[in-house]
Amino acid sequence: MTRYYAIDAANRQLAELRPLLERLRADRDEVARLQDELTAFRQADGSADHARDLADREAAIRTVVQRMKRTVTQLDDWSVALRDISSGLVDFPALVNGRPIWLCWRLGEDGIGWWHELETGVAGRKSLIELA
């Protein structure tokens, strides 16, 4: 069931959300780095320990991916929609006069200052001052 956020509640959620999104972004970068290393390792000539090293590298990737999945599950549990890992862009479902909208926020912003209609996405972001 979707939880709808008031602006104050969404702003309070940011204290827990910021570190999760920063970690998710770092984990995404770590997976990319580990995958590049794994690709190079697979192309290298194998030693006697090659199979064990390969399994260890694959396990390291799985560990980071599992942590990423737990983070995304936490966001889902909070009803926060992850839009972009790179920028830390998320949307909070909200109601304005019974009309559903998204409160829009991204890493680096002080607080919730933007919103958009359900169908417009970040391209349709408007200042909260314009919310009517």
Burial of 71 (0-12, 13-18, 19+ CB in 10 A): middle
Supply the pTM of this predicted model: 0.85
- The average confidence (pLDDT) of the chain is 91
Residue spans of the domains in the chain: they are 7-130
Instruction: Give the closest residue to 113 by CA, choosing from 30, 40, 14.
Output: 14
pLDDT digits (tens, 9 = 90+) for 68-81: 999 999 999 999 99
Is residue 22 a contact partner of residue 73, using CB atoms and an 8 Å limit?
no
pLDDT digits (tens, 9 = 90+) for 99-121: 999 999 999 999 999 999 999 98
SS3 (DSSP) at 2: coil
